[in-house]
Amino acid sequence: MFYYLSVLRYCCEVLKLQHKVTFQIIIIMTEVTDTETKVAGERWAALEANPEVMTKLCHQLGVSAMFEVVDVWGLEPDLLGFVPQPVIALILLFPSKGQGQERHAPVADHPLSSKVYYLTQLKGHLDNACGTIAMIHSVLNNRDMLGVSGNAESVGERFYQATINSGKDDRGKCLDTFDDIVNIHNKLVTQGQSGVVESEKVSHHFVSLTAVEGHLVELDGAYNSGPNIIEKIPEDAGFLNTAAKFVKEKYINAQGADGQFALMALTAKMD
C-alpha cells in the first residue's frame, strides 16, 4: 500500500512561490538502527520516494537507459517547464494513513478500461509494494516507447507476458510470487537517503498517472477498483499539464499545501 518516510530526524527543503502550491521535498536523515534488521525480514518493505531509486527500479524492469525518473518541484507552469520532455508518467506520493479512503473504491467503466494494464494491490500480500506497482503500471502501459516490448531479457516484459491474459487480482497474486521483481524491490529498500521504515509506520502511498490512447489515466491498485480514466487530454495542454492539474485538484487541494507530497516524472533522459 504505502512507502517512504522514516522518522528519526528529517529536514524539509521547501520551495515557495507567491500564491502557488508549496511542495515539500522531504530528505530523511537517520541513523542505522535495529529497525533495519526488522524490516529486512519483510517481503515487501517500504521503498523511498527517491528519483535515483525509482530510476534503478525502472531500468531493472527493462526500461531503456534513455529514460530516467526526476523530481517535479511544483505544479505551476514555470516549474513544470523544468521537467524534461517527453514525460511518460507521473509518480505521486501522498499522505494516506488516517485519511478515511475506501480501498478499491468503484471507478466508472470506460471503453478504454480494457486496454489499460492494471493490477490489484492485494491487502495482506502487497501492502507496501505501491512504489513498485506504480512503476509497473507506468512501464507496462508504455512498453513500446520505453523499449520493454518484445525484449525477452526484460523482467517487466516477462511479467507482462505472464499476466496479460489474467484478471487484475490474479496479476496481483502473480506479482507477490514473481521472484525477479520481489528481489529487485527488496534490494532497493535500503537505497536512497533515508533509513528503512517498519510497515506499521508507513503513512504514504504511491499512485501513477500516465496517458493511454490520448487519455489521462490514474492507476492506483489499492484505492481504486480499476484504471481511472480521467479525461481526454486537450491537445493544447498536453499530458504533463493535464496530469498536474488533476494532482492539484484531487490531492493537493483536498489535503492542503502543507501536506507532505512527493512528485516524480518518468521522462526522456537529458543529455
Active site (catalytic) residues: 130, 205
Cell of 182: 520481489
Residue spans of beta strands (DSSP E) within 180-250: 204-212, 215-219, 228-232
Residues 6+ apart with CB under 8 A from 174: 159, 162, 163, 166
> Is 118:168 a contact under the CB 8 Å cutoff?
yes
Rounded to 5 degrees, what are φ and ψ at 177?
-120, 10
DSSP for 59-103, written as a single string: HHTT--TTEEEEE---SSHHHHTTS-SSEEEEEEEEE-TTS-PPT
Cell of 201: 509506520
Q: Comparing C-alpha atoms, which of 142, 143, 104, 108 is closest to residue 223?
A: 104
Q: To 5 degrees, how large is the angle CA 3–CA 59–CA 203?
A: 5
